Chains A and B, each alone.
Chain A
Amino acid sequence: MSATTPLVEVEAIARRYTMKKGVFGAPIEVRAVDGVSFSIRRGETLGIVGESGSGKSTTGRMVLGLEMPDAGTVRFDGAAIPPIGGAEWRRQRARMQMIFQDPLAALDRRLPIAAQVREPLDIHLIGNEAEREARVVELLRDVGLSADHGRRYPHELSGGQRQRAVLARALATRPDFLVCDEPVSALDVSIQAQVVNQLIDIQAALGLAMLFISHDLRVVRQVSRRVGVMYLGRIVEEGDADDLFATPVHPYTRALVSAAPHPGRKPTERIVLTGDPPNPADRPSGCAFHPRCAFAVARCRVESPVLADLGAGRQVACHLASPAGAGGVPTGPKLPALEVA
């Protein structure tokens, strides 16, 4: 398999849930994820940002095959994800791993750390007894934990150490692909930096493909090469991480970037969105963002924009965005008053 073929190919996946309003209410269809496509190459990190309810975690679960999409396909290393529970599915599980937000919930409180890091090796029958012992020590060392940490129980470790233990366990089977869902959100800033550095180092050393899901723009930019921004189950903008945050095009991305508080930057340039985050059970017509968008025109209320390639490696789903000129960057809608200045 050549290096240029994506390891993970996701095409138009969708996930719907039905929800009842009240005991006797009619069932309502909730589209948690609504036609998301992307691909990740070996050694590449795709970041997904979005607010709560944007469908980023559901996307991660579908990519891993923990949940089956209602529509669309997920292909891993050129083949479709086998049906859940089969022998083939189990084999594939060893090649894709995940890390979640709360390490304490992901670890078994009654087992020492080393035993938990070893478990995937036992399950997938990797190596003999001595090799497994050695591998556990090596894994703990790779994530910056000592053999002594391995003998402790989860409650005896700090939050950052627990998340490293989870990372060590995820790496035990030498996976090709890692999904990280808000891996550092529960950690304090100084510890967050330790874990972020570790993830970047390990990803580079092992050539992992990674899907990094977070609501924190700064962390996503630090870790990812490309970033997709999700809003109400769809990717509204995707592009190179540095470019996307430097020159966001979609009005939602622009609001999100400007809302990220940053020491040393004055809040004068901030775009504050009106309205609440949308409810997936009550999706607005047309472009889902139009009720909160300062630029919305009549077309936005009726026609849903598709994710279009605007050049310079940027894809945007907005009726009002313009493609990149020669050597330039794509631009988003402008307010007439702003153009005068």
Chain B
Amino acid sequence: MTLVAIEGLTVDFDGVRVLHGIDLHVGKGEAVGLVGESGSGKSVTWLAALGLLPGKARVGGRVKLEGADILGAPDQTLDRIRGGRIAMIFQDPASALNPVLTIRRQIGESLALHRGLSGAAIKAEARRLLDLVGIPDAERRLSAYPHEFSGGQNQRIMIAMALAGNPDLLVADEPTTALDATIQAQILDLIRDIRRETGMALVLISHDLGVVAQTCDRVCVMYAGRIVEEAPAAVLFDDPAHPYASGLIGALPAIEGPRQRLSAIAGTVPDPRALPPGCSFGPRCLHATGACTQAPPALTTFGDGRRMACVLAKYRLEPTAIARELVDA
């Protein structure tokens, strides 16, 4: 059952296209990961879908929440969806929280807006949420300010605020990037436990393949404003098909086993104002051929539900294709 369907989503800033038609579905209760390097468009996809980009951004395509188009919907509708149906948390919790308001005021605001609670009900619910996200001594800590909490605790508070509206989907944009490794593990566990209890769907945006691998069911790899590969998490990390996806995984040092030289991807991410012709990854790709410069390869679906945008995709994911072509020739 599809909860959110993004179809052909494009974003232009000052006439420069940064998102080239994203197709992405999130099912009810599903955990989808979006990985990619800085500038690949993983955050912009969701900011655009929720109408959170600045006015100068031109957004095209369709975003459907349970069949209803929400892209360009009036503010009144979006206000109920954002926070109520789809909540979002960001990388830096300290800058997402208001430093001059107590935690109770900030969680209470969500509760009043999306659940229509007031007075004592707000306080009771805010306390329950703080308990849920593992803030000790919730009763007393409700009247504390963000600076009185550690970074990990502030992210827990952000999660509590996101949960205040009982959302069907949590979009977490690099939720653990600013946190230490041991605290990151705590937050990922917390998100997993909450999903198990509430059945909430999750979109995890991260540059960290490891974080996505252990949290998500399905992973999309983005490069230069396009999804280049989509596969179940376990399949993608064991057997990446797109040259960029396999390059990313090869570039990650191992923590056990023999030390091998890292297989770095040569070159750098292209400037969106000057994308190479054809496949954006072509100039950095070891397998690039003449066909790669013709046109950007389309994201094609293969038998086992994997999607890949590469001229070599059919040879990679349908081994019989080569034989068939040889026979035809």
Q: Give A contacts to B, CB under 8 Å.
A: 51-52, 158, 160-161, 188-194, 196-197, 200, 215, 217-219, 221-222, 242, 245-246, 255-267, 270, 272-274, 276-277
Contact = CB atoms under 8 A, between A and B. Distances in A.
Contact of A276 (B150, B248, B253): B150
A263 B37 contact: no
A248 to B, nearest CB: 11
Nearest to A258: B185
B213 A261 contact: yes
Interface string B222-256: 00000000000010011000000001111111111
A217 B262 contact: no
B181 A51 contact: yes
B248 A217 contact: no
9 contacts: A158-B268, A158-B269, A189-B209, A189-B251, A193-B250, A245-B256, A261-B213, A264-B213, A274-B186
A173 to B, nearest CB: 27
Most buried by B among A188, A190, A258: A190
B251 A190 contact: yes
A262 B210 contact: yes
Interface residues of B, number: 43
A226 to B, nearest CB: 14
Nearest to B256: A246
B251 A260 contact: no
Closest 7 A/B residue pairs (Cβ):
A261-B210, A193-B251, A263-B237, A193-B264, A51-B180, A222-B253, A188-B37
Contacts of A262: 210, 213-214, 255
B181 A190 contact: no
Interface of B: 37-38, 150, 152-153, 180-186, 188-189, 207-211, 213-214, 234, 237-238, 247-256, 259, 261-266, 268-269
Contact of A190 (B188, B211, B261, B264): B264
Contact of A261 (B214, B238, B263, B266): B214
Most buried by B among A255, A259, A270, A274: A259
Given A189-B209, A262-B210, A263-B213, A272 B259 contact: no
A256 B165 CA distance: 34
B252 A256 contact: no
A263 B251 CA distance: 12
A43 B152 CA distance: 38
Contacts of B269: 158, 188
B186 A273 contact: yes
Contacts of B189: 270, 272
Nearest to B209: A263
A260 B268 contact: no
B183 A277 contact: yes
A263 B255 contact: no
